[in-house]
Amino acid sequence: MLFKVEMKVNIPHDLPAEVVDEIKATEKAYSQDLQQQGKWRHLWRVAGSYSNVSIFDVADNTELQELISALPLFPYMDISVTPLCRHPSSISSDDS
């Protein structure tokens, strides 16, 4: 199942810089592992903001919840999820 996931990052200003750097490094490794597994298909920065638009390809809502709630930045993000399905006019072979 495909989901569009929008993540807006709100890191508290009083979090120590070294803690923030560690969280970001862990987040990067975690997201790159999921990308390599094909579960995190696309990761885009929204220009001009500290947010991203992502496409996840997971078995079901439960797997999506598990993956997203394990994000190191999860406590500091506003997240919205939109389920996707194939458009009848699409010519892409990988969007089902």
Where does this chain bind ligand LWBT4IAB (CB under 6 A)?
7, 9, 27-28, 31, 52, 73
Task: Judge contact between 9 and 23, C-beta under 8 A.
Answer: no
CB of 1 or CB of 42, closer to ligand LWBT4IAB:
42
Q: Which residues pair with 80 in a beta bridge?
A: 6
CB of 32 or CB of 90, closer to ligand LWBT4IAB:
32
Smallest separation, CB 88 to ligand LWBT4IAB (Å): 31
Smallest separation, CB 82 to ligand LWBT4IAB (Å): 17
In order, the DSSP letters of 15-82 are S-HHHHHHHHHHHHHHHHHHHHHTSEEEEEE-TTSSEEEEEEE-SSHHHHHHHHHT-TTGGGEEEEEE
Smallest separation, CB 90 to ligand LWBT4IAB (Å): 26
CB of 31 or CB of 57, closer to ligand LWBT4IAB:
31
Largest CA distance in the chain: 49
